[in-house]
Amino acid sequence: MNQTRRFAVDAADGGRLDSLVARRLDLSRTQAATLIATGQVLVDGKAERASFLPLPGSEITVEVPPTKDRPVLAEDIAINVVFEDDEVLVVDKAAGMVVHPAPGHWSGTLVNALKGRFSANQSLDEVGGEDRAGLVHRLDKDTSGLLVVAKTERAHRLLSKAMAERRVSRRYAAMTWGHIDGDKITVDKAIARDPNDRKKMAISASGRAARTDFVRIARFQSCDFFRAHLHSGRTHQIRVHLMSIGHPVVGDDTYGGGGARRLVGLPPQRHFLHAAWLVFKHPGTGDLMDFRSPLPEDLRVSLGAIAEDPDLIAHPDPLEYFGFYRVDG
């Protein structure tokens, strides 16, 4: 059964009908053009061409056909589990692993791995919704580090509520190009899908509120090393916020930080962003859970190159060395 979607054209909207529909419904432009060509898009009740330019105030009606179901399979994939009990599981995700299946990544994801891990004696399929496998939050493919998975519906509900109320502390280690003025900065800018590239996010007044606190823990010749504290969980939030102030994440090809990769010892398709510190109250016991993930080997090598101190590679936890875990508020 088709799903009917309606929206009014805002004054800030502009451009062709296919681009507008793609942006508002989070579709590719080709998908939007197909809907238009098959008569499933109406402008004020009338079919128009893909190149039509809608006026502000016009109502767009879109009949979206159901997507074809594609089962998410359980797979035997090794993951680094740092904690587990009957209600929660904490994973230290490796860079390069996609968290949730999507077009182009239907296998090899963390969800596939979680379903494989529990398929023999416990199903996570319905925890948090179909095929979420208990996920409470996500990490970008090329971001490494800690995330929590709920093993029961009750744990998922309580952890999701705590996340929404900012009672789950998530702090990331981020290396950026250039230097900010001072040692602290807060970026409070709304984020939405980039109207020109649906695979990217962008700062937008009409987007969802997003705030990140940054504290510089080290300054090197060409880079700043930050502790980033998320107060919201928008897609690509830290990366977009840093790009917006002119200091993109080192190695971030998507948001302008991918240059000089070899000079800082980063492998291809890797950016210097690591979910290093996760703190939350256990949904069952109420105990405070504190998890810390040292920098993985590839980021240790890069840190040594940037700091021009190869001894950092051998340090038990370079984040501890730089005072990452000393929080003053």
140 flagged as catalytic: yes
- How many Cβ atoms are within 10 Å of 168's Cβ, its own excluded? 21
The Cα 227–Cα 230 span in angstroms is 10
Among residues 13, 92, 140, 298, the one annotated as catalytic is: 140
Tokens at 108, concatenated: 């090899």
Q: In whole angstroms, how far apart are CA 9 and each of 2, 20, 53, 180?
A: 22, 9, 10, 39
The Cα 301–Cα 309 span in angstroms is 10
Q: In whole angstroms, how far apart are CA 19 and each of 44, 66, 194, 225, 273?
A: 17, 21, 12, 38, 32
Residue 182 carries which DSSP code? S
The Cα 226–Cα 223 span in angstroms is 10
Which residue numbers are catalytic? 140
